[in-house]
Amino acid sequence: MTSKLPETSTQTIYNQDFYLWIETTAKLLREKKFDQLDCENLIEQIEGMGRSEKQAIRNNLIVVLMHLLKYKYQPQNRTNSWRYTIREHRRRLRDAFEDSPSLKPYFQEVFDRCYEDARKEASDETGLAIATFPPSSPFSYEETLNPDYLPN
């Protein structure tokens, strides 16, 4: 006979040992012991995972756009490291879209805002005036994600 865990036990575990809480929650789900789940924290964690996925899209997009700007507006300083960074963060975006195709519209939704951030960061990193970089992205969605595209 399996003893029922007290209602607060998984909540207590959550506050004391997060990894143990994950293991316990997965075990309870596999065993279909739904009445023993810490649903409040489980919902919070699932929603947090969605926020993390969106944050990763924004962060990777900003890095790609910033490096494309640097590449375009500082041709004399182009390095293999810049090309690597562009390629790596494009790959991360591609992988995210393969795992979660529903994130692709979000990419388009935040593109302009991410470009604004990338423009400021490119100015900070290069020392070039912000006015050097156009107020609207000179790169299309397709160019930004294209693994072979580099601006002239």
Q: pLDDT tens digits for 8-41?
A: 477 888 888 988 999 999 999 999 999 999 999 9
For the chain, the structural domain boundaries read: 54-145
Which pLDDT band holds residue 6 (cuts at 50, 70, 90)? very low
Say if residues 122 and 134 touch (Cβ distance below 8 Å): no
**CA-to-CA distance for 80 and 24, rounded, in angstroms?**
46
What pTM did the predictor assign?
0.81
What is the enclosing helix (H) or strand (E) of 148? none
Beta-carbon contacts of 138 under 8 Å, excluding residues fewer than 6 positions away, are 72, 151
As a whole number of Å, the end-to-end CA separation of the chain is 71
